[in-house]
Amino acid sequence: MWKSSILLSMALFSSALAANISHAADKIIIGELNWGYAKVMTNVIKVVAEDNYGLQVDMVPGNHAVFFKAMDQGKGEVDIHPEVWLPNNQGLVDEYVYDNETVSLTDVTFPAFDGFCTTQAAVDTYGLKTVYDLTRPEIVGLTDRDGDGKGEIWMGAPGWKSTQIHQVRARDYGFADLYELQVSEENIILAQIDADAKAGKVIVWACYLPHHVFGMHELAVIEEPAHDPEKWQVADLENDPNWLENSFVATSFPPISSHIAYSKRLETDAPEMVKLLNGIEFTQQLINEWSFVASVEQRDPAEYAREWVTANKELVQSWLSY
């Protein structure tokens, strides 16, 4: 009888051990966004998790909607979304975090800002100070690159929720019809900002902070009215085909914060990873540093992340000790 019990116990122990090994061997997939500092951020999380927990961490490219849908399914196709800005992605958070309850969100990892920017020279020389100055014919003419009578303002990159919100804001601030509202990958506008700032030309674009470009040139945030919740009515940007018509935004952004989202499957399959994610706190200065390294110095994100983790053991330890 006792031999049977021992054999049963050993079998149960072996089964549990196998299960733990299986979980430990499972890959954790982080969604990789397509801007410079986000790639560094993703690689830093990967290095810390692999070095300290023995996890296998891979990355897959995609966008906000793709990452949230995959995390919702809980099959390990995407487990972590490293940078979720609120309120920009509030619709996705409402659906998957609060309604479906399949995704969790960490506390704030760093504060952020969304708005419109220009050069300090444009402010000093032409009085381009407020968003309403964008309706002045002089400013429209100064930003008209192709001579078609319309100025040009970059609204953001494809797939960014802020790009859609800026388009609504341009309409409701009253200057959308005066400009070509351009949507393109960020590297295009960054090259143009660099060239125009050096040449003393006027340029206006939808901007965000933190960002390394503010350390390269004298730039200025265009003033807007204080945030008014009554004038911030954003439709479901993901699912409403008439989101532009069904939105009204004639105010500045509310306070913006960045968070990490993760699939709730990790709570049982990799609780140590959940602990790490909830312990991570970045700063605007750190994000600016990573942005400069990735976008200006064009360092390899994986190589640089390894160097950064090695050089910042105390900060990393504070994340691990959460």
Per-residue pLDDT tens for 72-105? 999 999 999 999 999 999 999 999 999 999 999 9
Predicted local distance difference test score (pLDDT) of residue 80:
98
Asked if 130 and 225 sit in the same domain, the reply is: yes
Name the helix (H) or strand (E) containing 12: helix 2-25
145 token code pair: 């690159």
Q: How many domains, the chain?
A: 2
The reported pTM is 0.79
Asked if 271 and 193 sit in the same domain, the reply is: no
Task: Output the average pLDDT for the chain.
Answer: 91
Residue 8 has pLDDT above 50, yes or no: no
- Say if CB 156 and CB 211 are below 8 A apart: no
Chain segment 233-253, per-residue pLDDT in tens:
999 998 899 999 999 999 999
Q: What does 95-118 look like in DSSP terms, one character per residue?
A: IIIIIS--EEE-S-SEEEEEEEEE
Burial label for 134, CB within 10 Å (0-12, 13-18, 19+), is buried
**Of 24 and 176, the one with more pLDDT:** 176
pLDDT (mean) for 293-317: 95
Residue 17 has pLDDT above 80, yes or no: no
Decide which of 196, 224, 249 is a domain's last residue: 249
Asked if 202 and 263 sit in the same domain, the reply is: no
Predicted local distance difference test score (pLDDT) of residue 295:
85
Residues of the domain holding 308: 28-111+256-320
pLDDT (mean) for 177-202: 95
Predicted local distance difference test score (pLDDT) of residue 225:
94
pLDDT (mean) for 298-322: 96
Asked if 118 and 245 sit in the same domain, the reply is: yes
- The CA-atom distances, in angstroms, between 266 and each of 156, 241, 273 are 33, 33, 7
CATH assignment at residue 116: 3.40.190.100
Predicted local distance difference test score (pLDDT) of residue 2:
35
Alpha carbons 47 and 309: distance in angstroms, whole number: 8
Residue 7 has pLDDT above 50, yes or no: no
pLDDT band for 322, please (50, 70, 90 cuts).
confident
Asked if 198 and 286 sit in the same domain, the reply is: no
